[in-house]
Amino acid sequence: SSRPAEGMVFFEAPHEPIFSDKPENVGVHYLDKLTNPGDSHSFQETKAILALPVSAPWGSAVAAFNLAVELRPQYVLPIHDWHWSEEARQQMYGKLEGAFKEKGITFIKLETGVPVVLNV
C-alpha cells in the first residue's frame, strides 16, 4: 500500500462484486471536504462533498440515492456514469436533482469540461 499525499486519507471501500471479479478499490477523503469511494457503495462515512457512483454494472441510481440519503452529504457529484448517453444522463440528472432536493441534498449536474466550485 502506498502512502497518501498530503490532505488525503484512504479508507476501506471494497469494490462491489462484478460478475466473478472483485477488483481492488480504495476510498479517499480529500482535505476533509470530499469523499470519493471509487467503485463502492460499501462505506459508512462521507465528507460534505460526495463523489457518488450513480450507475454501474454492480449498482443502480436508486441504490446510490438511498446510500447518499443515509450518509447525508451536503453535495453529491455524480461519477461512474460514463456509459449513459447524453440524453440518458440529462434525464437521470434531472430525476436525481429533484429527489435529492426533497432530502435537503444538493445534486451537482456536471457538464463535460465545465469546472465546478463548491464552497464548503
Look at the pTM and tell me if it is higher than 0.75: yes
Per-residue pLDDT averaged across 24-53, rounded? 97
Dihedral sign, Cα of residue 120, residue 80, residue 55, residue 90: positive
Provide the pLDDT for residue 108.
98
In whole angstroms, what is the distance from residue 90 CA to residue 75 CA? 18
Domains contained in the chain, CATH given: 8-15+22-107 (3.60.15.10)
Predicted local distance difference test score (pLDDT) of residue 76: 99
DSSP 27: E
What proportion of the chain, given as a percentage, has pLDDT over 70?
Answer: 98
**pLDDT higher than 60, residue 1:** no
Residue type, 54: V
3-state class (DSSP) for residue 61: helix
Reduced to 3 states (helix: H, G, I; strand: E, B; else coil), residue 101 is helix
63 pLDDT band, cuts 50/70/90, is very high
**Helix/strand number for the chain, H first, E second:** 2, 6
- Residue with more model confidence, 1 or 62: 62
Measuring CA to CA, which residue among 8, 110, 118, 13 is closest to residue 54? Answer: 110
Burial class (CB in 10 A: 0-12, 13-18, 19+), 92: middle
